[in-house]
């Protein structure tokens, strides 16, 4: 059986996450998905979402995870999510959020220094979708307007015919993110909204990329033209934290981090600027996300 056929069968069976070779992998957050299906899949659950998606709820959840008593949740979380603590410096954490946003050892996430390489800005499950000439893109059956996502019709027009790279972070991922190339950093805009889960189960019911709080930063990159990097908040993510930055930043330098929860980083690429790794594209075409790591190569520049 060919690899594409295997990937398609895996997607049809609900195995929607693959490794870089196209092999289906277990979803470490499958239990979370079952709970979210109950929440989004019935009228009572959807009624409760009117409260749960409000930013104040995520803020209060974040405040609770800043409390010293929240450290009791760290050992079971490490065990359940199979987190490799050897990748991090040994220290005593003052709260669960301090643990969740801990920095990693640089050797554990080496940055690909090939100037032609497009790198992943974070640990995530990557899904790549084309942007149509009408500046629209489709994620898990839900169609989105790029203008509504970016909050600007004129800006959206520049990405017609390009690519939308969606990096979905789950609670077991390292939750810091970096610049994908050497760049001049433009303005960052915050688009206020509510905070639905970014888990694919929500796609049938809400357009999260139109409604969720997000930040949009223009990066004038050295090798990939004008790249938009967007951080999307999600349910129970208390804060998106972007660091102060200089005008010029190098690839792999940390841009910021998310506090507890699942969340998303999106890169919008102009047409003809990058060729994404063929296996990642095959996975996406078959409805599967691909596991990628902070700083790893996911594509190359087109000249």
Q: Is residue 150 part of a domain?
A: yes
Look up the domain containing 176 and give its range: 112-301
Higher pLDDT, 156 or 16: 156
Among the listed residues 152, 154, 151, 159, the one whose alpha carbon sits nearest the alpha carbon of residue 193:
151
Is pLDDT at 54 greater than 80 in this prediction?
Answer: no
HSE value, Cβ hemisphere, 13 Å, CA-based, for 15 = 14
pLDDT greater at residue 34 or residue 266: 266
Question: In angstroms, rounded to a whole number, what is the distance separating the alpha carbons of residues 224 and 94?
Answer: 40
Identify the residue with better confidence: 26 or 242: 242
Token pair 């603590």: residue: 85
Per-residue confidence at 92, pLDDT binned at 50, 70, 90? very high
Residue 63 lies in a domain: no
Q: Do residues 248 and 184 make contact, with C-beta atoms less than 8 angstroms apart? A: yes
- 222 — phi, psi (to 5°)? -75, -30
pLDDT of 48 over the 80 cut: no
What is the C-alpha to C-alpha distance for residues 248 and 176, in angstroms, rounded to an integer? 19
Q: Give the pLDDT score at 181.
A: 98
pLDDT interval class at 285 (50, 70, 90): very high
- In whole angstroms, give the CA distance from residue 57 to residue 50: 11
User: Out of 124-128, 229-233, 262-266, which region has the weakest mean confidence (pLDDT)?
Assistant: 262-266
Mean pLDDT for the chain? 84
Q: Is residue 78 part of a domain?
A: no
137 occurs within a structural domain: yes
Q: What is the pLDDT of residue 220?
A: 98
Question: DSSP assignment, residue 73?
Answer: G
217 assigned to some structural domain = yes
- The CA distances from residue 54 to 2, 47, 230, in Å, are 46, 13, 20
- Mean pLDDT lowest among 63-77, 88-102, 107-121, 206-220: 206-220
Q: Which of 241, 212, 231 is nearest to 100 (CA)?
A: 241
| Predicted local distance difference test score (pLDDT) of residue 143 | 86
Q: Binning pLDDT at 50, 70 and 90, where does residue 9 land?
A: very low
- Catalytically active residues, by annotation: 123, 263
Structure tokens at 5: 């056929």
- pTM for the whole structure: 0.85
Distance from C-alpha of 56 to C-alpha of 235, rounded to nearest angstrom = 11
CB proximity list for 61: less than 8 A, separation 6 or greater: 236, 238, 260, 261
pLDDT digits (tens, 9 = 90+) for 239-279: 788 999 889 999 999 999 998 766 899 999 999 999 999 99
Instruction: Compute the average pLDDT of residues 123-128.
Output: 96
- Token pair belonging to 162: 């390009």
Considering only residues 122 and 28, tell me which one the structure prediction assigns the higher pLDDT: 122
pLDDT, tens only, 175-215:
999 999 999 999 899 988 765 555 555 555 566 777 778 89
Note whether 223 and 301 are within 8 A (CB).
yes
Residues 77, 169, 149, 59, Cα dihedral to 10° = 20
Q: Which of 162, 129, 178 is nearest to 296 (CA)?
A: 178
How many structural domains does the chain have?
1
Q: Say if 87 falls within a structural domain.
A: no
The residues with which 163 forms a beta bridge, in sequence order, are 130, 269
Examine residue 22 and state whether it is found in any structural domain, yes or no. Answer: no
Is 167 a member of any domain?
yes
């Amino acid at each position: 059986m060919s690899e594409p056929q295997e990937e398609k069968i895996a997607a049809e069976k609900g195995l929607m996450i693959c490794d870089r070779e196209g092999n289906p992998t277990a979803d470490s957050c499958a239990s979370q998905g079952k709970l979210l299906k109950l929440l989004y899949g019935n009228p009572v659950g959807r009624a409760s979402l009117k409260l749960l998606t409000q930013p104040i709820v995520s803020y209060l959840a974040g405040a609770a995870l800043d409390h010293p008593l929240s450290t009791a949740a760290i050992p079971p979380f490490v065990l359940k999510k199979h987190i490799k603590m050897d990748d991090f410096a040994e220290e005593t954490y003052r709260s669960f959020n301090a643990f969740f946003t801990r920095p990693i050892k640089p050797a554990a996430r080496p940055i690909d220094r090939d100037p032609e390489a497009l790198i992943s800005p974070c640990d995530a499950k990557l899904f790549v979708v084309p942007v149509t000439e009408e500046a629209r893109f489709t994620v898990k059956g839900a169609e989105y307007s790029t203008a509504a996502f970016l909050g600007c019709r004129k800006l959206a027009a520049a990405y017609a015919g390009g690519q939308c790279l969606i990096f979905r972070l789950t609670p077991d991922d390292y939750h810091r993110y970096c610049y994908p190339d050497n760049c001049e950093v433009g303005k960052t805009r915050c688009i206020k909204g509510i905070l639905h889960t970014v888990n694919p189960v929500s796609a049938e019911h809400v357009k999260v990329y139109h409604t969720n709080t997000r930040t949009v930063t223009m990066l004038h990159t050295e090798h990939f033209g004008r790249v938009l990097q967007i951080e999307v908040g999600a349910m129970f993510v208390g804060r998106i934290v972007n660091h102060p930055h200089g005008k010029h930043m190098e690839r792999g330098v940390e841009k910021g981090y998310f506090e507890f929860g699942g969340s998303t980083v999106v890169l919008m690429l102009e047409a003809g600027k990058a060729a994404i790794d063929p296996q990642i594209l095959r996975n996406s075409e078959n409805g599967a996300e691909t596991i990628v790591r902070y700083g790893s190569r996911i594509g190359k520049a087109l000249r």
